[in-house]
Structure 1
Amino acid sequence: MDDRELRAFTSIAEFGRMDLAAKELGYSQPALSYQIRRLESALGAALLTRGPTGVELTIAGQLILPTARATLVLIEGMKQTAGVADRRR
C-alpha cells in the first residue's frame, strides 16, 4: 500500500465518480482502477461499489476513509520535514 493508492481512494470518495477522480489526479480510468484493486487487495476488503451513476463506499471504505486521509496528511508532513532537513545540509 502506498500514497498513490490512498490518494486514488480518497479522491474517488470525494468526487463519487471514477472519471472525475482520474482527471483530477492525471490518471487514466484503468490506472485509477488498478490503484484501487491494489489497495483493496492489500486491505483484504472491497472499498467501493461501482454503479451506473458513480461509486459508493462500502462499509469498509467508509470506516477506513478517515484513516486514509490522516495517513496522507502524515505523509505530506514527512515529505516537508525531509525537504527542510535536506536544505539545511
Structure 2
Amino acid sequence: MHEREFRAFVSVAETGRMDQAAKVLGYSQPAISYQIKCLEQILGTKLFIRDSTGARLTREGRMILPSARAVLALIDSIKGVCAPV
C-alpha cells in the first residue's frame, strides 16, 4: 500500500467522483482509477460502487476510511518533522 493510493481513496470518498478527486490531487482520472484498483486488489475488496453519478463507498470502504485518514495524518506528521530547516 502506498501513500498515493490512500490519498486517492480519501479524495474520492470526500468528493464522490473520480474526476473531481483527480482535479484535487493534480492527477488524471485514469491515474486515480488505477490507484483505487490497486488498493482494492491489495485489500481484496471493492471500496466503491461506481455508476454514472459518481462513486459511493461500500460498507468496507466506509469501515477503512477513518484508518486511511489516520495513516495520511501520520504521514503528514512525519513529513512535517523531517521538513528541511
Amino acid at match of 2:68: A
Q: Give the residue type in structure 1 aligned to 2:22.
A: A
Indicate the residue corresponding to 1:43 in structure 2: 43
Q: Which has the larger radius of gyration?
A: 1
The reply to whether residue 59 of structure 1 matches residue 59 of structure 2 is: yes
Give, in angstroms, the shift of residue 82 of structure 1. Answer: 1.8
Q: CA RMSD in A?
A: 0.9
Looking at structure 1, the residues matched to 33 and 19 of structure 2 have their Cα atoms a distance apart, in angstroms, of 10
**Structure 1 position 51, deviation (Å):** 0.7
Q: How far 1:17 sits from its partner (Å)?
A: 0.7
Which residue is equivalent to 2:14?
Answer: 14
Unaligned runs of 5+ in 2: none
Q: Residues of 2 paired with 1:67 and 1:30: CA distance? A: 25
Find the residue that maps to 1:27 and give its secondary structure. coil
Q: Normalising by the residue count of structure 2, what TM-score does the alignment of the two structures yield?
A: 0.95
**Unmatched tracts of structure 1, length 5 or more:** none
Q: Which residue identity is paired with 1:25?
A: L
Percent of residue pairs identical: 56
State the alpha-carbon separation in 1 of the partners of residues 44 and 82 from structure 2: 32
SS state at 2:82 partner: helix
Q: Corresponding residue for 1:71? A: 71
C-alpha distance in 1 between matches for 2:34 and 2:52: 19
Q: How many angstroms does 1:36 deviate by?
A: 0.4
Size of the alignment, in residue pairs?
Answer: 85
Distance 2:79 2:24 in 1: 21
